Amino acid sequence: MQRPRRLRRTRALRALTRETYLAPEHFILPLFVHEGQGDLPISTMPGVCRHDLPGLLARIQEAVDLGIGSVVLFGIPDHKDALGQESRSEEGVVQRAIRSVRARFPELTIIADTCLCEYTDHGHCGPLVPDSRGGWTVDNDAALPLLAATAVSQARAGADIVAPSAMMDGQVGAIRAALDQAGFGHIPIMAYAVKYASAFYGPFREAAGSAPSVGDRASYQMDPAGGYREAIREAQLDVDEGADFLMVKPALAYLDVLRVVRDTFDLPLVAYNVSGEYAMLKAAAQAGMLDERRSVLETLGSLRRAGADAIMTYHALDAARWLREDREATRPVRTTEVAER
Ligand code: PBG
């Protein structure tokens, strides 16, 4: 009789035959930096703060000590306006943060989220123009040069990767051309290629103060019920425009999309385990409904199994800590050591 259970009998056998694994170098830690003083907690994301510069550097030190090699930075400016000017200012909140982090951690991979919604007073990812129905819509082509200028300013500050998340058509091509022209041909683009208009961004928008003041993002982010053809088309366009990484976002309700993108394209693939997905497990754990450690590691593991190379996750610090503990606890020990335990 075939007995698959033979390979599950011991910890070491299970580890030997495991098909996917998690490690801290797979994680990208998202961090918020604001212009005020102190670390301000985000009520919908227990354990996550809006950092000031010293707080940001301290948090990154923790991450680096746990073996995490990459962070993605989101800036929250004091001043927001219709065009999101602060997104591309040399003295902007994220540009200053990138410079300090770069100076302190020369080897860290610094990813800059390239978008306007944290910087516009209306919370949309590009400038608004009146539409034909008496409402407002985002002007795609007017957003492109603003996004390109934002990416160049981030690269100039010292970002290793820019990550455009605005879901404007042509944004990857516009950013690639601008980076090349400014002498940043070596800076890769991590394209939020397949990004859905999701309810799971709610806590992030509280954190960044970027909830749209009029309308929603459904006219540029993807329809959650959309299928694989649309996902492939979005990813293909970003590949053609020069993307170096592809991303699927959110992650959990889109594991099937991750798998399809993995099987269709050969670029490195990132899964963004977004704020609402984090909040969901945190809330359940705090209510005593789930074992946080096991449910988080199982969840992150599912993203690797679905095909993600890298995972953006607010759980990165906890997960890296748990993985280290597991590693220490699962080393095969001598009989004398077993007795000592
Ligand atoms: C910017 C951006 C958003 C997120 C990442 N980049 C917000 C949005 O699209 O509304 C959300 C990430 C999260 O929920 O953790 N456009």
Task: Return the CATH number at 31.
Answer: 3.20.20.70
SS3 198: coil
Residue 15 lies in a domain: no
Catalytic residue among 51, 249, 262, 315: 249
Catalytic residue among 195, 262, 282, 304: 195
Structure token pair of residue 84: 């999101």
- Sign, CA dihedral 148-149-152-158, equals negative
* pTM for this model (two decimals): 0.96
Ligand 1 center to 29 CA (angstroms): 14
- In this model, does residue 73 exceed pLDDT 80? yes
Residues 124/130/133/138 CA torsion (nearest 10 deg): -30
- In this model, does residue 120 exceed pLDDT 90? yes
Structure token pair of residue 222: 């993807």
Residue 78 lies in a domain: yes
275 lines ligand 1 (CB under 6 A): yes
- Sign, CA dihedral 116-117-122-126, equals positive
Q: Which of 4-8, 80-84, 332-336 has the lowest mean pLDDT?
A: 332-336
273 lines ligand 1 (CB under 6 A): no
State which residues form the domain around 324.
21-340
- In this model, does residue 329 exceed pLDDT 90? no
Q: Are 216 and 188 in contact (CB under 8 A)?
A: no
Number of domains in the chain: 1
- In this model, does residue 214 exceed pLDDT 70? yes
* Average pLDDT of span 143-148: 98
Structure token pair of residue 142: 């007017």
Q: Are 28 and 316 in contact (CB under 8 A)?
A: yes
Q: Are 200 and 276 in contact (CB under 8 A)?
A: yes
Residue 307 lies in a domain: yes
80 included as an active-site residue: no
Residue 92 lies in a domain: yes
Residue 44 lies in a domain: yes
Alpha helices in the chain (DSSP H): 11-16, 53-65, 93-104, 140-157, 171-181, 202-208, 228-241, 255-264, 275-286, 292-306, 316-329, 335-340
Measured N-to-C along each axis, helices 93-104 and 53-65 cross at an angle, to the nearest 10 degrees, of 40
Residue closest to 199 by CA, chosen among 235, 167, 225, 227 = 225
* Average pLDDT of span 227-237: 97
Residue 327 lies in a domain: yes
Residue 6 lies in a domain: no
Residue 2 lies in a domain: no
Ligand 1 center to 204 CA (angstroms): 6
87 lines ligand 1 (CB under 6 A): no
How would residue 226 be classed by pLDDT, with cut points 50, 70 and 90?
Answer: confident
Using alpha carbons only, give the angle 102, 103, 104 rounded to the nearest 5 degrees: 95
